[in-house]
Structure 1
């Protein structure tokens, strides 16, 4: 037989209901907060939620091959010979026969100055020479007659001597006249401007029709010999000795010329000469290299990067320079082992060429050195290889995350399911909730025991709001043992 329910006064029931709701809500929040804290792992002493994500890194393999050793310097291309063609006489530039930029041979005509004034001067000199030659010839004939008369004792010896001196005088005048003729011919030849060397003609500095002078500093045009061509570059004084050792052994030293960016090879040549003194201001030594320049890739005054091939190291182990790290103890690299655990290796470095450096110890062929992401790795920790030898590696499928059993998972039915990480913890919590429900909540709500195992109330429908705290079967118990819905 069921006992009738005793309802509390409306105001009291409403107030009690609010207090009970706040109390139960506080207990639920407190439990959720407590259960959200990570549970220590007995094996590692860390929280299950503290899942360490491996750091993504890029690696490069250590390789073994012959390694070329180079010395590098900055150089300027200089023409093997360069000549400024200038007029040697004054006059009008009446003809220009060369084309800007063309190649000319030695002695080839470039331009011509008006020759008429110099032709006239030559004619005058030649006329003077002819007159003096006639006087000389007459003086020589008189001298011959005087010698005959002197032999016959017909004239005085003084007359014969005077005639001989006069003949000598005319000989000197004729010689001077001949020099004037030669000078006039030379001046006339200067009216034709020819190429003193073979090479490439530059831009014309004077146009046809202008009056040119022998003292003009601008000149007519510049001719540069570009085949072959030379490059003057410098090396620090502490790098000079290896070069001198090669030269003493009469070994050719290969020189490579690169563009300003240092990426495009322009020409290859040989070391031609070195200077005899070091510049005290810069501590460098000048060297000259010579290039055939058959394709005309080098121009005078061009800036180039020079690489001097000094030696070849056979079977040297080398890695990317980006893998090298430094600290107070020296150089080291981070190596990714087979199990993807990071290890630190102290290394001794050898020569460097471009983005490669020789490693002399503590690194084997094929080992992976970290070249990107080294600032985020920890020795002894695992890493994730995202790039290897410049090739991206597809990311591995992420491991399925551990199910977080510290929260309530609602289901489609009206029941509320509690899922705990620990069965013991779940049972203890349920026991606490049931005790609070039976001893505190229900009495405050004005509910009394109807049967031995049930409670009832006209407000049983509100219990569904707290089902997550009261247990999965609370609302069922209310529904079964209540008199009727409100």
Structure 2
């Protein structure tokens, strides 16, 4: 038993010694430096860019006239087709003129009587005027005749005014279009009683050969636009105003180009915005009042703009836009950018990048400032592959029988 234990302990000791020995061969080499990351870059270049701004707005008619009743009475006729174009002065409605014809004739009769009385008083005054020098009539009689003549003159004036008023009211029984334009739906029908004390609305006429588009622009944008044009950084048209295009709700662009006409002189204190008005031609009548559109203001062209993909720009802890570029000795540099606006899917860079910089556009999550990187070679775009040949209709040969 003792001999067995001695042999077992000796075998165990020999095994432990053999485990501590190194395997045959040279020791393993220490780990080398990590491979240099390969990144794709975009070389920054300056390019001319037309800056635009889309603002929501509503279309309104360039002239709107509400046609209202100016005399009371029964509507006898409606002389237009709803939704048609009418001319200024065209008769739209006829109101029963019977009572106004009677008033006109009565006023004419009153005027004729006043004129006859004036003629008689004038003749009497003339006779007394020839006799006053010989003392054939008294001074009192002459004064009374003179006063009567002046009273009759006043009555004639009142009579003429009454005739004019009656004629105006009679003319108002024929309701005419105040402007040339497109007429809307009639608010009354034949037989309806209209009243002047309630100013009954009959219909509306709107001039639509040109239309207004009113949009609200932030006051800061308006100041920036004016400053950029004044400094020459943005180029506008010959009149100094940026052209305007119209975009419908479905994205279609209206073919006619508009013109910026005026900006309001007051800033809305609730929204801090300014109402900007543009005028658009409407030869086909496609633009209707109340229609929602987006006015695209072409603010001008900047000839030396720098545009970078939005995916290559991130934000730091302060919320500032940042980008990574390949700097000296192929090491990554972090740049803080100023990006005042987006142009499509790109950022317009005002500062932080210059022409010739190599902007890193991929592997952004795997690199950090200060590490060395390798710029991937820019390979040309692959040529368009030839179209695939249609499959042959010849059946494939059958496998040989085994």
Tell me the TM-score normalized by structure 2.
0.70
What is the alpha-carbon root mean square deviation over aligned residues?
4.0
Matched, 1:192 2:174: yes
The CA distance in 2 between the partners of 1:214 and 1:323, in whole Å, is 70
> What residue ranges of structure 1 are gaps of 5+ in the alignment?
1-39, 47-58, 337-342, 383-387, 395-486
On the 8 A contact 2:46/2:355 being kept in 1, the answer is no
Aligned position for 2:302: 313
On the 8 A contact 2:43/2:355 being kept in 1, the answer is no
Of 158, 179, 190, which residue of structure 1 is paired with 2:161?
179
Aligned position for 1:156: 138
Of 193, 209, 219, which residue of structure 2 is paired with 1:237?
219
Q: The residue matched to 2:105 in structure 1 has which SS?
A: helix
Pairing 1:95-106 to 2, within 5 Å after superposition: 95-106=77-88
Instruction: Say if 1:213 and 1:323 are closer, same or farther in 2 by CA, change over 3 A.
Output: farther
Matched, 1:331 2:321: yes
Instruction: Say if 1:121 and 1:262 are closer, same or farther in 2 by CA, change over 3 A.
Output: same
Matched, 1:378 2:366: yes
On the 8 A contact 1:270/1:290 being kept in 2, the answer is yes
Of 141, 151, 156, which residue of structure 2 is paired with 1:169?
151
The CA distance in 2 between the partners of 1:220 and 1:248, in whole Å, is 53
Report the Cα offset of residue 190 of structure 1: 0.7
Instruction: Say if 1:188 and 1:365 are closer, same or farther in 2 by CA, change over 3 A.
Output: farther
The CA distance in 1 between the partners of 2:249 and 2:358, in whole Å, is 34
Aligned position for 2:12: none
The CA distance in 2 between the partners of 1:218 and 1:183, in whole Å, is 21
On the 8 A contact 1:254/1:308 being kept in 2, the answer is yes
Instruction: Say if 1:248 and 1:367 are closer, same or farther in 2 by CA, change over 3 A.
Output: closer
Matched, 1:356 2:346: yes
Aligned position for 2:289: 300
Q: Flag the structure with larger Rg.
A: 1
Report the Cα offset of residue 92 of structure 1: 1.0
Matched, 1:88 2:78: no
The CA distance in 2 between the partners of 1:308 and 1:91, in whole Å, is 51
Deviates most, 280-289 or 210-219: 210-219
Deviates most, 209-218 or 137-146: 209-218
Report the Cα offset of residue 302 of structure 1: 2.0
Of 180, 187, 192, which residue of structure 2 is paired with 1:205?
187
Pairing 1:71-82 to 2, within 5 Å after superposition: 71-82=53-64
Structure ranking higher on relative contact order (CA contacts 8 Å, 6+ apart): 2
> What residue ranges of structure 2 are gaps of 5+ in the alignment?
1-27, 35-40, 233-238, 327-331, 375-379, 386-402
Aligned position for 1:272: 261
Deviations 1:444-478 (A, max 9, x none): xxxxxxxxxxxxxxxxxxxxxxxxxxxxxxxxxxx
Instruction: Say if 1:312 and 1:179 are closer, same or farther in 2 by CA, change over 3 A.
Output: same
Instruction: Say if 1:44 and 1:100 are closer, same or farther in 2 by CA, change over 3 A.
Output: farther
On the 8 A contact 1:64/1:365 being kept in 2, the answer is no
Report the Cα offset of residue 226 of structure 1: 2.0
Deviates most, 205-214 or 287-296: 287-296
Instruction: Say if 1:300 and 1:366 are closer, same or farther in 2 by CA, change over 3 A.
Output: farther
Matched, 1:131 2:113: yes
Corresponding pairs, count: 332
The CA distance in 2 between the partners of 1:248 and 1:196, in whole Å, is 46
Report the Cα offset of residue 364 of structure 1: 6.0
Q: The residue matched to 1:279 in structure 2 has which SS?
A: coil
Deviations 1:368-414 (A, max 9, x none): 846xxx89x634999xxxxx99x9x99xxxxxxxxxxxxxxxxxxxx
The CA distance in 1 between the partners of 2:135 and 2:147, in whole Å, is 20
- Structure showing the higher helix proportion among its residues: 1
The CA distance in 1 between the partners of 2:284 and 2:230, in whole Å, is 28
The CA distance in 1 between the partners of 2:162 and 2:57, in whole Å, is 50
Tell me the TM-score normalized by structure 1.
0.59
Matched, 1:223 2:213: no
